[in-house]
Structure 1
Amino acid sequence: MTADLTIRTDAMPAEMRLLLAEYPRDSWDSHPGFQEKTRGWLNAHRSFRRLAGLLREDTEAYLDRNLVPDDFAGRLSRFGNILVGNLHGHHTWEDRSYFPELSAADPRFDSGLEILEQDHAALDTVLHDFSGIANRAIKLVQLDEVQAYEEAGKLHPVTEAIEQLLDRHLSDEEELAVPIILHHRLRG
C-alpha cells in the first residue's frame, strides 16, 4: 500500500554518476552517439511526467470543484489508463532488455541498475493503488457524488506519490543510462 511505501528521495550514489561528469545532460543532444532511439526513450519519460502531473492537477481541480464530475471521471479513466499501461510496458521492457544491455556494456553500474529496478517495484505498488482508487472514483461518479469526492481525496496523495517517484526515478535513470549509451556508442 502506498501509505506504507518509502519513496527513494536520495540521488544515485556518486560512483553511479561517474560517466555523467564526462557526459553532462546539457551536452547529450549534440553528442554524435545521441541517436533517435535514445531521444524516443527520453520523450517517453517526458510523457510520463506530463501525464502524472495532469492526473494530480485534474484531481485537485475536481476536489476544488473546478472540474465537473463526468469530466473528471472521463479524464481520469483516459489518462490514468494511458499512464499505467505505458509505464508497465516501458518498465518491463527496461528490466528485460534495456538494463541487461547497459549491464553488458558496463557492469560497473549494475548496482545503479538494481536501484532502478527497485524503483520499478515501488512504482508497481503505487500504480496498483492508483488503479484501485481511480476505478472506484470513476464508478462512484455515476452512483454517489459524495463518495466519489471522498475517493478522489484518497486518490490525490497517490497521484502526488506517482509524481514524486517518477521525478526521482526518471532523472536518475536518464543520468545513469544516457552516459553509458554515449560512452559505449550503444543503440545506434
Structure 2
Amino acid sequence: MLDTSYTIRQDAMPEEMRFLLETYPRDSWEAHPGFKEKTRQWLGAHQMCRRVAEQIRRDTEVILDRGMALDDYAGRLSSYGGSLVGNLHGHHSWEDHAYFPELSEADPRFDAGLELLEKDHSDLDAVLDGFTRSANRLIKLTTLDEAQAYDEAGQVHAASATIEAFLKRHLTDEEELAVPLILHHRLRG
C-alpha cells in the first residue's frame, strides 16, 4: 500500500524563493558566462531522473495493458527502479550535505527555500520506500503468482506516477532557486 502521509505541492514556488529568478530566467541560463559544467551536470542528473521515472511509469502502463512479457517487465523494473532509487538517494544526500550548505553560505536568502526542499527530500524518501516495496513484491510475484504480480503492478504504477509528479514539482523548484543563485555569485565554476 502506498504511503500518503506526504503532499506534493501543486502551486508555484513561494515568492520568497524566487528572489533571483526574474533576474536570471531559465531561458537565459545556458548563455550566462557563470553557467559552468558542474551546473550542467547537476541539471543533467535531474533530467536523467525525470526520464527514468517516466520510463518506469510507461513500462508499467504497458504491462497493465498486457503488452509486454511479465519477465521482461520485471527485469526492466529491477534495472530502472534500482537506478532511479539509488541515484535519487545519492543525489539528494550530496545536495543536503555538500551542495545546499555551499549555496546557503554564499547567500543566506537561499535558506528561505532550503526548509521546503529538505521537506521534499524527506517526503520523497517515503515515496521511494513505498515504490521499492511494491516493485520488489512484484518482481518476486512474477515467479510465484502471475495474477498477483499484475495486481501489484497497479501499486507500482501509482507509486511511479507519484514519483514522476513529485520530481516535476521538486526539481523545477530546486533548479529555479539554485541556478540563479549560482549564476549571480558565480559558484560551482
SS of aligned partner of 1:66:
coil
Map 1:50-129 onto structure 2 (within 5 A): 50-129=51-130
Unaligned runs of 5+ in 2: none
How far did 1:35 drift?
0.2
Provide the aligned C-alpha RMSD in A: 0.8
Alignment length, in residue pairs? Answer: 188
- One-letter amino acid of the structure 2 residue matched with residue 106 of structure 1: D
- One-letter amino acid of the structure 2 residue matched with residue 159 of structure 1: S
- One-letter amino acid of the structure 2 residue matched with residue 18 of structure 1: F
**What is the distance in 1 between the residues matched to 2:154 and 2:39?**
37
**What is the distance in 2 between the residues matched to 1:4 and 1:128?**
13
In the alignment, is residue 138 of structure 1 matched against residue 139 of structure 2?
yes
Q: Would you tell me which structure has more helix in proportion to its own residues? A: 1
**What is the distance in 2 between the residues matched to 1:11 and 1:2?**
24
- One-letter amino acid of the structure 2 residue matched with residue 20 of structure 1: L
**What is the distance in 2 between the residues matched to 1:37 and 1:62?**
38
**What is the distance in 1 between the residues matched to 2:38 and 2:24?**
18
**What is the distance in 1 between the residues matched to 2:57 and 2:112?**
32
SS of aligned partner of 1:2:
coil
How far did 1:177 drift?
0.2
Percent identity of equivalent pairs: 65
8 Å CA contact 1:62, 1:72 repeated in 2: yes
8 Å CA contact 1:2, 1:158 repeated in 2: no
**What is the distance in 1 between the residues matched to 2:56 and 2:182?**
32
**What is the distance in 1 between the residues matched to 2:183 and 2:24?**
8
How far did 1:100 drift?
0.4
SS of aligned partner of 1:41:
helix
Q: Which residue in 2 is equivalent to 1:158? A: 159
How far did 1:5 drift?
2.4
TM-score, scaled relative to structure 1: 0.98
Deviates more, 1:4-13 or 1:49-58: 4-13
SS of aligned partner of 1:31:
coil
How far did 1:108 drift?
1.2
How far did 1:4 drift?
3.3
SS of aligned partner of 1:3:
coil
Runs of 4+ off more than 6 Å: none
